[in-house]
Amino acid sequence: MKHRKFVVTSTVLMFFVTGIVAGLAVYSTVVVKASIPGLPEAVAYLPPDSQAVFGMNVKKFIDSPMYARLQAKQGDQIGKDLQDFIAKTGVDPRKDISYIIAAGRSADGKKGTGVVIAQGTFNATAITNFINTQFTPIRVDYPGAVVLMIPEKDGSSVDKGIAFMSDNEIALGEIGALKEVLDIRKDGKPGVLDNPTLGPLIRTLNPEEMFWFAGDPTNVLAKAPANTPLGGNLTAIVNVFGTLNITTEVAGTITVTAKDAVSAGKLADVAKGLLALGSLASDQNPDLAQLLAGVKIEQIQNTSTRANDQIRLRINFPIDLLDKLQQMKPAAAMKKVA
């Protein structure tokens, strides 16, 4: 099972390689020009009933000060893991992967489904050869793509697959989701951009950001426990979208749309209250105080509805603060033991 998971993850979640296999990466920066001028074409292939969509510009991260920073800290391990990955798959994430997108949806009483598409330059033969050394996939020549279905180790089921759509596009996901992607790509069927909730949100996002996301969380939030600080206010959330960049700073914007202006006001008040409590707790910690000072919450007007039904959360603080706060945890643990 361990080998199978590695194969499934590495072959198309290889975009995470710069971050998972290499121990860091998958993020981008605003300093370098994006390699893709608009939304990746593959966004249009995502299933129309997706509830969350995520995009990541890998090229920009590789050229960013954040990547250089992580290399300086973990260079030896990164180099070893990365070279091992390149040798096995023929894919160098630093050069071969330009962009990744992902989409998912929950299912009542069932495990959620999802699909990921990587864009770049891929050697399908090298990747297939590597997969064949781990187990025997089931090859299907689907219209417009070659699909390798991944069986469970005991052969009990086949629920995931890898689709080689071209030398520049690879997709990974549950078989049903993969089939949807391939049908949309081949026949021009409606995709996530035709989704009345997510489509308009995705079109407003800037693909040159480090990463961006849009989600329709209503199904998930309906099951959220009421005994939380936000309580029943969560069910008023209609959608959420935003962007994040990590360079020498962590900077991002998250926008939450509520069902009406009154609900948005309540959500904003609770969020501001939590922020105020955090600020009180940071009186003895200047680093935590600086981090919280970089968080701004405001109720704003929705440009589509002209109603004040949105809350905007802005964050902006030096990346060094994350290191300082991480160092606080071991120190606090030692103090507690003493």
Query: Could you read off the pLDDT of 59-77 as tens digits, one per residue?
Result: 888 888 777 777 777 666 6
DSSP code at position 108 = T
**What pLDDT does 8 receive?**
34
Closest Cα partner for 118 from 49, 161, 79, 166? 166
What does the pLDDT average to over 146-165? 80
Residue 18 lies in a domain: yes
Point out the domain boundary residue: 123, 158, 192.
192
**What pLDDT does 127 receive?**
86
Q: 288 and 244 share a domain?
A: yes
Q: 86 and 226 share a domain?
A: no
Residue located via tokens 């520049």: 168
Flag the least confident range among 121-130, 242-251, 316-325: 316-325
Q: 148 and 291 share a domain?
A: no
Q: 31 and 164 share a domain?
A: yes
Q: Is 138 exposed, middle or buried (0-12, 13-18, 19+ CB in 10 A)?
A: exposed
What does the pLDDT average to over 174-201? 92
Q: 39 and 157 share a domain?
A: yes
Would the pLDDT of 97 be above 70?
yes
**What pLDDT does 281 receive?**
74
How do residues 130-153 score in pLDDT, each as one tens digit?
Answer: 888 877 888 888 888 989 988 766
Residue 201 lies in a domain: no
Would the pLDDT of 112 be above 50?
yes
What does the pLDDT average to over 224-253? 80
DSSP readout, 285-320?
Answer: -HHHHHHHHTEEEEEE--TTT-SS-EEEEEEEEETH
Cα-Cα-Cα-Cα dihedral sign, residues 94, 192, 39, 70: negative
Q: 34 and 177 share a domain?
A: yes
Residue 29 lies in a domain: yes
| Domain encompassing residue 230 | 217-338
DSSP H helices, 135-282, are 175-187, 198-204, 218-221, 261-281
Q: 4 and 122 share a domain?
A: yes
Residue 212 lies in a domain: no
CA-derived radius of gyration, the chain: 22
Q: 166 and 297 share a domain?
A: no
Q: 163 and 257 share a domain?
A: no
- DSSP lists the bridge partners of residue 28 as none
Point out the domain boundary residue: 177, 192, 207.
192
DSSP code at position 74 = H
Residue 331 lies in a domain: yes
Point out the domain boundary residue: 176, 192, 208.
192
**What pLDDT does 143 receive?**
86
Q: 182 and 227 share a domain?
A: no
Residue 32 lies in a domain: yes
Q: 181 and 298 share a domain?
A: no
Counting the structural domains of the chain, the total is 2
